Structure 1
Amino acid sequence: MPEGHTLHRIARLHQERFAGAAVRVSSPQGRFADGAALVDGQVLERAEAYGKHLLHHYASGLTVHVHLGLYGTFSEVELPMPAPVGQVRMRMVGAATGFGTDLRGPTACEVLHPPEVEALTARLGADPLRPDADHERAGERIRRSRRAIGALLMDQSVIAGVGNVYRAEVLFRHGISPFRPGTSLTAAEWDALWADLVVLMPTGVETGRMHVVRPEHDSGAPSYAKDRPRTYVYRRQGEPCRVCGTPVSHGTMEARNLFWCNVCQPR
């Protein structure tokens, strides 16, 4: 599933290419036809991301909400757009700007009214990529919980936008076991974790790739797969830790894959 930096990167691109002008919105697949009709021809005022959610705000006050889920993708093209290929849930065309985009396979693509947008954002936690993020409130929630920090970082109502890769890597970078309960985390440890996410995730927005391995450790073992980021522990089970050489461990936590180093991240 795309992590928060991917959605912020898409939001920034859509803001640059479509905001401030009327756009044509359709649903070649048909599943979003009613929603598309509500915003078709309107001015797209603003595109933004909150965690793993993309929001297109229109002049009428309506908002198109997209959650990519596991399989959703946007295809960005210059005009003229070709005939739709595959199951295009939403097509947005900016004639004034010369660009279009096709959305395929999202978990959610829906039109929301202002109270529904407020309800959506209210249930999301602090997003390290947003200037309005309240990291102290998130830290308080974490330090009151006996759930494992590895689970809390993936809870979108606590931290919005962090997924499995950033979860595994930021905990490794700070030597924190994913099994430690939130109540064991000190305020200083949480501040350091948050500060690191605030540095790492914008790099993903700028480059389109995750960069999580420090230069002094970025040699030797390749990435876990072609065209994937080089990581400390994510998807490297059984491979030697980049720092201590211990085989990287793998397990599950709340039905999600978990990766860590038993030596660098002692319980």
Structure 2
Amino acid sequence: MPEGHTLHRLARLHQRRYAGAPVEVASPQGRFAAEAALLNGRRFDSAEAYGKHLFHNYGPHGTVHVHLGLYGTFSESQLPVAEPVGQVRMRLVGRTHWTDLRGPNRCELLTEGQAEAIKARLGPDPLRRDARPHRAGDRISRSRTSLAALLMDQSVIAGVGNVYRAEVLFRHGVAPMLPGRDLDEALWRDIWDDLVRLMEAGVRSGRIDTVAEEHLPEVTGRAPRQDRHGGEVYVYRRTGQPCLVCGTPVAHTELTGRNLYWCPACQPA
């Protein structure tokens, strides 16, 4: 599932390409046809992301809410427009570019109030200027739930997924099963600030990189990571491989239906 930096990257791209002008909206697949007809030819006011959610704002005509889920993807192209390939849920055509959306978990037209209600259910997003990290800190400090589970709870923190969760805990030497209420307040603030830095870098590069310079392949002589997710990481999807810091095999388990990775030596219980 795409993590928050991907949605913010898309929001900035769509803001640059479509905001401030009318767009053509269609649904070649048909599942968004009625909504597309209402928006076709309307002015695309703005695009924004909140956590793993993307919002296309059309002023009084409503807001398109997109959640990609596990299989949703956007494809971006320059004009001229080509024939649809696959099941295109929503197509946008602007002055210079066009965008196709396929396979999202959600693609729906909402009122402003409905869109705001979705945002209100989410925790603070490290990539938003209006984020209030103390809201997440307060939830964590009162919870017996493991920190690993809390970081994946979108009502606690919005936008953090499996990769950022595993990597930020490793970077701060925190055992993933530590109860939230046992996390030091100052350490929480360090974790939050690190998430901001890592996710902002992800928006710029389009990939997740969490490894310090001294542990990069070109410094240590190891082979670069080969993974469809891209980026150099410490523990994510490195089960049984030696920790890049201490050499201990990376551990793996499942937690609330998701894979969890950590180094038992660098993140002692």
Same fold by TM (over 0.5)?
A: yes
3-state SS of paired residue (2:60): coil
Partners of 1:58 and 1:82 in 2: CA distance = 25
TM-score, reference length from structure 2: 0.97
Larger CA deviation: 217-226 vs 4-13: 217-226
1:193 corresponds in structure 2 to 191
Which residue does the alignment assign to 1:43? 43
Which position in structure 2 is the counterpart of 1:237? Answer: 239
2:105 is aligned with 1:107: yes
Q: Deviations over 1:205-228 (max 9, x none)?
A: 011111100011123253152562
Cα distance in 1 for partners of 2:47, 2:266 equals 40
- Describe the shift of the 1:51–1:224 C-alpha distance in structure 2 as closer, same or farther (beyond 3 A): same
Q: Distance in 2 between matches of 1:173 and 1:130?
A: 22
Contact 1:66 1:109 in 2 (8 A): yes
* 2:174 equivalent in structure 1: 176
Mean alpha-carbon deviation: is it higher for 32-41 or for 162-171? 32-41
Residue pair 1:50, 1:127 contacting (<8 A) in 2 also: yes
Match status 1:12 vs 2:12: yes
Letter in 1 for 2:52: K
2:39 touches 2:61 (CA, 8 Å); kept in 1?
Answer: no
What does 1:1-267 correspond to in 2, within 5 Å? 1-94=1-94, 97-219=95-217, 220-225=222-227, 228-267=230-269
Deviation sequence 1:225-263 (CA, Å, 0-9, x none):
256222100000000000000000000111110000000
Q: Deviations over 1:158-185 (max 9, x none)?
A: 0000000000000000000110000000
Aligned in 2, Cα 1:193/1:227: closer, same or farther, shift over 3 Å?
A: closer
The alignment's C-alpha RMSD in Å is 1.0
Query: Does the 8 Å CA contact 2:48/2:54 hold for their aligned counterparts?
Result: yes
Offset at 1:60? Answer: 2.0
Following superposition, the deviation at residue 119 of structure 1 comes to: 0.9
Structure 2 contact 207–229 (Cα < 8 Å) conserved: no
Determine the C-alpha separation between the residues in 2 that align with 1:80 and 1:216: 46
| Unpaired segments ≥5 residues, structure 2 | none
Indicate the SS of the match to 1:175. coil
- Return the letter of the residue paired with 1:230: E
- With the length of structure 1 as denominator, give the TM-score of the two structures: 0.97
Count the aligned residue pairs.
265
8 Å contact kept, 1:20–1:43: yes
CA distance in 2, matches of 1:110, 1:228: 30
Identity percentage of aligned residues:
62
Amino acid at match of 1:158: V
Secondary structure (helix, strand or coil) at the match of 2:148 reads: helix
Shift of 1:31: 0.5
SS in 1 for 2:266: coil
